[in-house]
Amino acid sequence: MMLVMRTTLSIPDDAYVAVRSLSEFQKISLGEAVGVLIRRGLNPAPAIDASKAFPCFILPDDAEHITLEQTLEAEEEW
């Protein structure tokens, strides 16, 4: 079940431009675009270490390692 609530928002002009742009690009309502951006903000992008020649994601110490075999297997699925 999805709860839908109507409300009025006062947002800065630059935020409105971003919402409107996303809304037009994805052909969704302004409300849906606001929801997309809110959810995106709740799940921040992973940190990236750009101090070296090739940028790398910063992973937790307990992250599972991906082997060459797993990479090749995934490549075959394409």
Contact between 32 and 23 (Cβ < 8 Å): yes
pLDDT tens-digit map of 11-66: 999 999 999 999 999 999 999 999 999 999 998 888 899 998 999 988 888 989 89
**Residue 35 in domain:** yes
* 52 in a structural domain: yes
| CB of 19 closer than 8 Å to CB of 33 | yes
Q: Is residue 25 included in any domain, yes or no?
A: yes
On the question of pLDDT at 1 being above 90, the answer is no
Whether 65 is covered by a domain: the verdict is no
Look at residue 55 and tell me if it is in a domain.
yes
pTM: 0.56
Residue 40 lies in domain:
13-60
| Residues 6+ positions from 23 with CB-CB distance below 8 Å | 29, 30, 32, 33
- Phi and psi dihedrals of 66, rounded to 5? -105, 125
Q: What is the total count of domains within the chain? A: 1
Asked if the structure places residue 40 within a domain, the reply is yes
Mean pLDDT of 5-15: 90
